[in-house]
Chains A and B, each alone.
Chain A
Amino acid sequence: MKTQFFVLGIIISICIAACKESGDLVVKPVRATKTIEFRGFALGDTIEQYFDGKKVREFHGRVTYSGRMIFDKEGPVIMDLKKKGDSKVLYSKVFEQDTTKTIPPFTIWYDGVKVSETYNYPEPRPGIEQIAFYFDFPANMPVDIVYGDASGDVNGMQYLARNVQPKQWVDFMEIEPLDGTELYVFLLKAGTKEFLIQNRFELSYIQAQLPTTGGWYQGGDVQSLFARYVPASDQQEEQIAVENLIDTFRR
């Protein structure tokens, strides 16, 4: 009988001991906030951004964020970047909570393999336009890069590069001012006289600045053009979207 009461007493004690009245707040109080600004570019893959081990957002292509960061626990906040589908941390950054120190703006550059805070590109040279190309196109879409006037006459096009394969860089070309007043860059299907998108020049145009002898732009800048193929949808026709990485990583 004593044993039974003893066992019963232990059970009741355990149960009462389990009855805690305090809990952890689900929405943690904000201890401090800091403004934070970062820009960047993720080439080829999708990059996942984690803060304190919790995934917050994904990047593919251009990245910009300008806002605030909150601190809801003691100590710093740690940011990790990982390639989607891979647990390996490619890059980490620590943000201290000390509110007397601001967070300087920073950049993130993912070149398809590694993450760094800088994107290297050549120094501008007066009178010389330096242009690099990268085509984030399906594997079966090699292109020729041509330029010409607004008439869209494919026979009048001049070649900048031939048979450029998708997902490969065309390194910085040095282009001196070209004859003409207003010239545009177009894409052709590699080895053909056919414009890349529906054989329509207005859809196969990419936004790039070419220096001309008779035009208003004489060159001297640097362009790193990332072109992405956007398939057709209910809302729009298929098209090419272009971003200049130099705008993101301007020194």
Chain B
Amino acid sequence: MLLITMLQVNAVTLAQKVTINVTNAPLVQVFDSIRDQSGVDFFFSASLISKAKPVSVRINEQELGIALAEIFLNQPLTYVIKNNAVQVRIKEQNAADNIGRISGKVMDDRGEPLPGATIKIIQTGQTIQSSPDGTYRFSVNPGIYTLEVTYVSFQTRRITDVTVTANELTTLNITLNAVINSLNQIVVTSGYKKGSVAGHYSQQKNAAAVTNGISSEQISATPDRHVGETLSRISGVSTTDGSKVVVRGIAERYNVATLNGSILPSTDVQERNFEFDLIPSNMVENIVVSKSVTADMPYGFAGGAVQVNTKAIPSENFMSFSAGLGYNSRTMGKDFLGYGRGKYDYFGFDDGSRDHFPKDILNIESGFKPNQPDDQNEVSLAEVADQNKRIGGTERLGTRSYQAAPAQNYQFSLGRVYSLSKNKTRNFGFVSSVNYRNTQRNNYIRNMRRGSWSLRPTNGDDLDDVNTGNLYNFNTNLGALLNAGFSTDKHQIQTQNIYNRVFDNQFSRITGWSWEQPKSPDNPFPEVEEDERPKFTDLLQNRISGKHVFGRFTIDWNASRTHLKQVEQDAISGGLGNTVYANYAPLYHYYPGQASDPGWGNLNRGQFSYREADKEAMFNAAYNFRLGSTNHIFKTGYNYLHRHLFYDWLVLPIVVGDVFRSSYAEIPVQEWGDHMDMKNPMTSFYYKTSKYLDAGFEGKGITHGSYVMTDSKIGAMLRVIWGVRAEHFELDTIKNPTSLMTDDNVKLLLEEEKAWRFLPSASATFSPIADLNLRVAYAKSAVRPGLMENSRFSRYNPNYGTRVRSQGVTTSIIDNYDLKAEWFPKAGEVISAGYFYKKFDKPAEFYRINDESGGSAYVTIGNSDWAKVKGWEFEIRKSLDFILPGALFMNNIFLTGNLTLQKSEVRSREIRYAKGSDGNDSTYFNYLKHPRQLYGQVPLLYNLGAQYTGKRFGINLVYNYMGYKTFVTSSEPMLAEYERPRAQLDMQLSYRFFGNKMQARLNVRNLTDAPYRFFVNDASTYEQKPGTEDLLNAEWGDRYEYKSGFSEKFEKGYTDKETGQLIGDRETFTNYVGRTTSLSLTYNF
């Protein structure tokens, strides 16, 4: 039995201070000295203590914890503190396993990184310099340390109580303040404040612009699968359908998306919008939303710039694997419908079964009539039959019922850092990640009364006269990321590469009565409309960037290329008719188009291919100088963006010469391909193409931008930034055919001038006390039209229930004014209030217009005349430690909230067409000034959250509320559509196992299964004032008046007893997405 020595039993506290001054002294002697001074107990065995090395330390009045770390620094022994005593143990053989790490970023009080700052650990003497991006890292034994950071012309800062534990990373971002009087050397000492959340708010505090954001730590505390869902957590940000972002209540069109600083292309063909659901949340390091503009931002926006940054090169090696399963309450256990699947759909690739779009398609419509003999047709029967054969069969057509699989996701991430020199800063590191996700969602459409669907029941009391359906979404996402970087103390080069492959198949099936054929005794059975859009998206971004420090000069540059390819392969749109049989009343069947009908026909399959290649380059140079007691940065730069896109479509309507002679109803649609030999030209099926159905758009946009700006720190309290940006934008539509014959005579309104625009910006931040910012900012910004927004392509959109087209879009110019007060009481905490005002010149909006005789209203994008938006913004993130100061539990509970309130006024401008006396078409505008929200705008938006993060257990509750939102606007009240307020509650529980190596997270999204509900102010709720029908320039109140009891908000109203019709607002679309529960496990190796 080993001899156990117990010196003395006494209670100790680590805060006690000790003094030890020994050279080559036995360790036991040091223990005795500590015991004498502090009364601390030491436990150790004789065999253990025999391994100890002699100790040489000079510790003067140092805290016990720090003294112990220093004493054990070079010993083969380590220690644990338990029950107020010190237990001495042998160090594990693999010492690296027990090493802890400290890393972070050194910044100035503007948030700019400070390269070459000296960081020293007082206890160990380890000293390093920060890299050009301001980052640093240490590997040290567990203990409590003090870090000292020094930099020329800045106050030296000392941070105490930095606790390092074995195998864990301690994050510490450090902000240095400039020395006001260079003769005084000031050392500022503060305590350690933990976490990337604190670092994130530190960035927000010091940013030049008004920003909000979310860190990876905060993202991991949400149930979010992709960035689209995460964005709604950020102050003043919400999303529509999880993909379109609304910033400050301003719609996606006025926001810009960047990935690692490079602009992302629009992924929505007919709208200027990047669909954020393409990027998995777990590939993201942080998201920052800038809400005010500075001259060095190479893009214009009115709502916000959503800057998504992928995983940064780590400060320590890591390897992790995570897997998750999800369950949606409206999907699992129910039929999941869709057309024929391919073998590789689960892997995100097509197996060839959707490949029906050969080249050199003949123009059948103008060259072939089935009722004419061959000698009168340009295209012979044999050629049509041969083309049918080349296109291929219809085996994939027709709805199938599948079993929905649970959502599943897997991710593997690896990060490595290498130090290439012992003496100098020569670091290389990379982070890589591969990701797989498959989700299947069944949304229940309880009510569809948009576009060409019947707008109201024939009889208000008939509960069966309703249009309902489902939206099935099958989504596979494959992602890979590789970021690598090399840095010295003066230079840094990084490359960021991300590839995403997404297979997104959206299938909608709606059953109901159309506007043209409402329910009646002669039409008792509803029709069925199906629309499937299997979309394969490849997004590849490669970027290289560098930063170089030459004394007071800093140069940074980057070049990137972003390729987006999005192909809707074998998209099918079709309607099902019905026939009554003895044993089916009715039996639904697919039916082909009539050969003589123009257009896309009743049943068509199509390929829609969108390719965009963007090349971007930026160069910035900054010079840091002092004038007296003021500190300035002069910055200038140039950026170039070249965008080139192609959008090709090939639509194949399936028709027969004479639908009345064909027995198509009893031929399964999967076998129609077997009846395309044209042996009987009037009853054979064939693919009918025309010049409208086989065409393509090509557009090019080039932006040159350059700027000058200064960022001046005047005294300790005032920071002034001003600058001007010059921008030249050129948009060329190289090919722009129509996709419908009816649009042939419609001209686009293109007012785009190709000249330089000068966009000034200025802001001032006043900090009367530490941790308080008062900001004021002004900027002029330009939101450019998306390349496809000026396309004459027009297509039916099942979501709108009608077709969507453009009337031509020009640049919107916005004057932005901001006021904001921010208080950062503690690290990770913020309380802020802000006011903003924006004036839009020619804002683009989606209008619903009904100006075609006999047709239903269509949706078009065009510029309104002007809009004014003003709003308030509030944010709070606060821990509950003030209730029980010092209680760790309360310190770990954070309450968060943000609120956006806004009001707008718009002068809408709708294009109208008329025939002049000369017989030519002419256009004019119909103006209407209206106190309404802009398209996509939300007047009331708030998020509330409560988060507890303990050592093992965590819980996070998030409540998101979005008020009335303008979905589609119009000059006619009954055509404008709004989304009713919606609230969503999400929850996450997390627990760590196996020494924090494994984390389990249980997420519940949309706990209350809150639906999305839309409505219009029906004509029964308001009246037009007599004699105002032809006013071309009126205010809304001059022209319309709501009836008593009704307003622009949703009022259900009542059913009129005489007519049986609803007098009230009409519900147009109601969609339930279900409650999603998911469990994920992450293991860190």
Do A and B associate with each other? yes
Residue positions of A touching B, CB distance < 8 A: 4, 8, 11-12, 15-16, 18-27, 29-30, 33, 36, 51-52, 56-57, 65, 67-70, 77, 79
Q: Which of B402, B406, B582 has the most CB of A within 10 A?
A: B582
Q: A29-B671, A33-B666 are in contact. Are A52 and B583 (CB under 8 A)?
A: yes
List, in ascending order, chain A residues with CB within 8 A of B15's CB: none
Contact call B585/A27, Cβ cutoff below 8 A: no
Contact call A24/B405, Cβ cutoff below 8 A: no
Closest to A29 in B: B668
Asked whether B341 is an interface residue with its Cβ less than 8 Å from the other chain, the reply is yes
List, in ascending order, chain B residues with CB within 8 A of A4's CB: 998, 1083
Asked whether B343 is an interface residue with its Cβ less than 8 Å from the other chain, the reply is yes
Asked whether B150 is an interface residue with its Cβ less than 8 Å from the other chain, the reply is no
Q: A30-B668, A70-B666 are in contact. Are A25 and B585 (CB under 8 A)?
A: no
> Which residue in B340, B405, B585, B668 is a CB contact (below 8 Å) of A19?
B405
Closest to B409 in A: A15
Asked whether B408 is an interface residue with its Cβ less than 8 Å from the other chain, the reply is yes
Q: A21-B343, A23-B402 are in contact. Are A57 and B410 (CB under 8 A)?
A: no
Q: A51-B583, A69-B583 are in contact. Are A25 and B406 (CB under 8 A)?
A: no
Q: Mark B122-146, 1 if CB is under 8 A from A, else 0.
A: 0000000000000000000000000
Number of residue pairs across A and B with beta carbons under 8 Å? 93
Contact call A25/B399, Cβ cutoff below 8 A: yes
Q: Mark B419-445, 1 if CB is under 8 A from A, else 0.
A: 000000000000000000010000000
Asked whether B757 is an interface residue with its Cβ less than 8 Å from the other chain, the reply is no
Bound together, the chains give a CA A38 to CA B300 distance in angstroms of 73
Bound together, the chains give a CA A52 to CA B584 distance in angstroms of 10
User: From residue B382, how far is it (CB to closest CB) to chain A in Å?
Assistant: 29
Bound together, the chains give a CA A33 to CA B400 distance in angstroms of 23
Contact call B582/A51, Cβ cutoff below 8 A: yes
Asked whether B580 is an interface residue with its Cβ less than 8 Å from the other chain, the reply is yes
Contact call B582/A20, Cβ cutoff below 8 A: no
Q: Which of B340, B410, B666 has the most CB of A within 10 A?
A: B666
> Which residue in A19, A21, A56 is a CB contact (below 8 Å) of B584?
A56
Q: A25-B399, A26-B401, A33-B666 are in contact. Are A12 and B323 (CB under 8 A)?
A: yes
List, in ascending order, chain A residues with CB within 8 A of B668's CB: 25, 27, 29-30
User: From residue A105, how far is it (CB to closest CB) to chain B in Å?
Assistant: 12
List, in ascending order, chain B residues with CB within 8 A of A23's CB: 337-338, 340-341, 400-402
Closest to A57 in B: B585
List, in ascending order, chain A residues with CB within 8 A of B73's CB: none
Asked whether B195 is an interface residue with its Cβ less than 8 Å from the other chain, the reply is no
Contact call A70/B398, Cβ cutoff below 8 A: no
Closest to A23 in B: B400
> Which residue in A18, A25, A57, A67 is a CB contact (below 8 Å) of B403?
A18
Mark out the residues of chain B between 650 and 709 whose CB falls within 8 Å of any chain A CB in the assembled complex.
666-671
Closest to A69 in B: B582
Asked whether B342 is an interface residue with its Cβ less than 8 Å from the other chain, the reply is yes
List, in ascending order, chain B residues with CB within 8 A of A52's CB: 583
List, in ascending order, chain B residues with CB within 8 A of A20's CB: 402-403, 405
Closest to B667 in A: A30
Bound together, the chains give a CA A8 to CA B342 distance in angstroms of 27
Contact call B583/A18, Cβ cutoff below 8 A: no
Contact call B582/A65, Cβ cutoff below 8 A: yes
List, in ascending order, chain A residues with CB within 8 A of B410's CB: 12
Besides A8-B323, A56-B584, A79-B583, 12 other CB < 8 A contacts?
A: A4-B998, A12-B323, A21-B341, A23-B340, A23-B402, A25-B398, A25-B668, A26-B398, A27-B668, A30-B666, A30-B667, A69-B581
Per CB-CB distance, the 8 closest pairs between chain A and chain B, nearest first, are A23-B400, A29-B668, A51-B583, A23-B402, A69-B582, A26-B399, A18-B405, A30-B666
List, in ascending order, chain A residues with CB within 8 A of B345's CB: 21
> Which residue in B325, B337, B341, B405 is a CB contact (below 8 Å) of A11?
B325
Closest to A78 in B: B583
Mark out the residues of chain B between 327 and 375 whose CB falls within 8 Å of any chain A CB in the assembled complex.
337-338, 340-343, 345-346
List, in ascending order, chain A residues with CB within 8 A of B403's CB: 18, 20
Asked whether B590 is an interface residue with its Cβ less than 8 Å from the other chain, the reply is yes
List, in ascending order, chain A residues with CB within 8 A of B583's CB: 51-52, 56, 69-70, 77, 79
Q: What are 25 pairs between A and B in contact, CB < 8 Å? A: A4-B1083, A11-B323, A15-B408, A16-B346, A18-B406, A19-B346, A20-B403, A21-B343, A21-B345, A22-B341, A22-B400, A23-B400, A23-B402, A24-B400, A25-B398, A25-B400, A25-B401, A26-B400, A27-B398, A27-B399, A27-B587, A33-B581, A52-B583, A67-B582, A70-B581
List, in ascending order, chain A residues with CB within 8 A of B72's CB: none
> Which residue in B438, B580, B588 is a CB contact (below 8 Å) of A27?
B588
List, in ascending order, chain A residues with CB within 8 A of B406's CB: 15, 18
User: From residue A55, how far is it (CB to closest CB) to chain B in Å?
Assistant: 9
Mark out the residues of chain B between 298 and 343 whose CB falls within 8 Å of any chain A CB in the assembled complex.
323, 325, 337-338, 340-343
Bound together, the chains give a CA A70 to CA B667 distance in angstroms of 12
List, in ascending order, chain A residues with CB within 8 A of B587's CB: 27, 70
Bound together, the chains give a CA A56 to CA B582 distance in angstroms of 8
Bound together, the chains give a CA A20 to CA B400 distance in angstroms of 12
Q: A15-B406, A19-B346, A22-B341 are in contact. Are A67 and B580 (CB under 8 A)?
A: yes
Asked whether B576 is an interface residue with its Cβ less than 8 Å from the other chain, the reply is yes
Bound together, the chains give a CA A190 to CA B576 distance in angstroms of 55
Bound together, the chains give a CA A51 to CA B580 distance in angstroms of 13
Q: Which of A8, A52, A79 has the most CB of B within 10 A?
A: A8
Asked whether B589 is an interface residue with its Cβ less than 8 Å from the other chain, the reply is yes
List, in ascending order, chain A residues with CB within 8 A of B323's CB: 8, 11-12
Contact call B585/A56, Cβ cutoff below 8 A: yes
Bound together, the chains give a CA A15 to CA B400 distance in angstroms of 21
List, in ascending order, chain B residues with CB within 8 A of A79's CB: 583
User: From residue B753, how far is it (CB to closest CB) to chain A in Å?
Assistant: 53
Bound together, the chains give a CA A25 to CA B589 distance in angstroms of 12
Bound together, the chains give a CA A22 to CA B346 distance in angstroms of 12
Bound together, the chains give a CA A24 to CA B670 distance in angstroms of 13
Q: Which of A20, A26, A36 has the most CB of B within 10 A?
A: A26
> Which residue in A15, A26, A30, A68 is a CB contact (below 8 Å) of B337?
A26
User: From residue B692, how far is it (CB to closest CB) to chain A in Å?
Assistant: 30
